[in-house]
Amino acid sequence: MLSAAEIVGALEHQTKEERLTVVPWPERDELLRKGETSIDLRLGRWFRSFKQTRTPSVSLVGRIPRDSDEPSETSRTKQHFVPFGSNYVLHPGRFVLGVTLEWLRLPASLSGYVTGKSSLGRHGLVIETAAGIHPQFSGCLTLELANVGEVPLEIYPGMPICQIFLHRTQAGEEREPDRFSGRRKPMLSPPKADETFMRLVDSRPDGA
């Protein structure tokens, strides 16, 4: 895990390809003063909620092994823009996709993972259930926000929402662009097709 000094060094690296980019820039003096091993990220202004009544069920495999009218993203979800100074109310038992205010670019030598802030978790706000960030990722991070508490929660664009921890990664070959790279708004992407799963489905003895 990178120390505060190593994080600042990555942010200020002279070589663009090896530089960690975070826009807006984090407060580097504050990071060094506190000696923290993570960078706080803030909540952005775009959200995507789910239309419960219009979605009977959703398949979680990349290719559905039966005839099905899979609802589109626009029919299943609704996009919201919340300006600074306003809030989004997340009710108990509800789930919404959010996005970080910061745009990130990780070099090939770094990977990371995102965790929620304990001060928010104690109120029932669960953040980022798919936490890994691969080397060479670029874009805003999509956040999976859920209220597992008992009361509605007001969340505000610009508030600290999560933190990213960084690790050194042995640089290898260039990776193909991540399907989530380059995003600035939360997006509901379908799961990737899994060849092993499909072979298991196709091997059913009844052939159904």
The catalytic site residues sit at: 144
Write out the DSSP string of the chain. Answer: ---HHHHHHHHT-SSGGG--EEESPP-HHHHHHHT-SEEEEEB-SEEEEE-GGG-S----SSS-SS---PPPHHHHEEEEE--TT--EEE-TT-EEEEEEEEEEE--TTEEEEEEE-HHHHTTTEEE-SS-EE-TT-EEEEEEEEEE-SSS-EEE-TTSEEEEEEEEE----SPPPPPTTTT--S---PPPPP-HHHHHHHHT-TT--
Paired tokens of 108: 């090939």
Single-letter code of the amino acid located at 147:
N
